[in-house]
A and B are shown apart, each in its own frame.
Chain A
Amino acid sequence: GAVVSQHPSWVICKSGTSVKIECRSLDFQATTMFWYRQFPKQSLMLMATSNEGSKATYEQGVEKDKFLINHASLTLSTLTVTSAHPEDSSFYICSARGPTGSNQPQHFGDGTRLSIL
């Protein structure tokens, strides 16, 4: 149980385009999803927290107009990197957890490798 699916796993696109990444909880309802960014050989850095039906909460230094997050249902959150540039190239990982107060751990997707040419 507790499977989180992320799509696509790898994307290469030209500078200036927008890229959408999907994160789905396959066998549980995720009231909260998290988006992380990870550079090679580094730790995971939280970008934003996404709660179903409300606006995402962004961490300090993360541009909300650059990284658009939508959590329209209890099983799907999307991250759109708008007008992507080479410096946005990274490994993006989402995680999902169940209802607040249930002491549910975060379960991670397998990440999306984004390469901007």
Chain B
Amino acid sequence: QQQVKQSPQSLIVQKGGISIINCAYENTAFDYFPWYQQFPGKGPALLIAIRPDVSEKKEGRFTISFNKSAKQFSLHIMDSQPGDSATYFCAASMDTGGGNKLTFGTGTQLKVEL
């Protein structure tokens, strides 16, 4: 049973546009929601993360929006650049009692075109 659903599977955005990736989770015990960026042949790199006590977190061009009641969270990439072209994974974990194991979404392949 997949606990974190991610959409879209792939996304093409023009340079300077906004990239939006959505995730939904089922387990209400999750209390940590990170986003990872992965380039081909590399391991995932932590981009930004949020906890359920806030509805939004912004770091540079990256923003996480979190809706606890809907059990959804999304990543917004403002002013998207060709260098942002990568695969993005949302994830969720439980810090307490869950061993901090990450459950990953299925990934979104982002391509930013000139």
Contact = CB atoms under 8 A, between A and B. Distances in A.
Contacts of A101: 95
B46 A110 contact: no
Nearest to B4: A43
Interface of A: prevailing SS: strand
Interface residues on B, range: 20 to 34
Contact of A111 (B36, B43, B103): B43
Interface residues on A, range: 20 to 34
A46 B102 contact: yes
B42 interface: yes
Nearest to B31: A103
B102 A6 contact: no
Interface string A94-117: 010100110101111111010000
Interface of A: 4, 6, 32, 34, 41-44, 46, 49, 57, 93, 95, 97, 100-101, 103, 105-111, 113
Given A41-B107, A105-B46, 14 more contacts: A32-B100, A44-B102, A46-B101, A57-B99, A93-B44, A103-B32, A103-B95, A108-B36, A108-B43, A109-B43, A110-B41, A110-B42, A111-B41, A111-B43
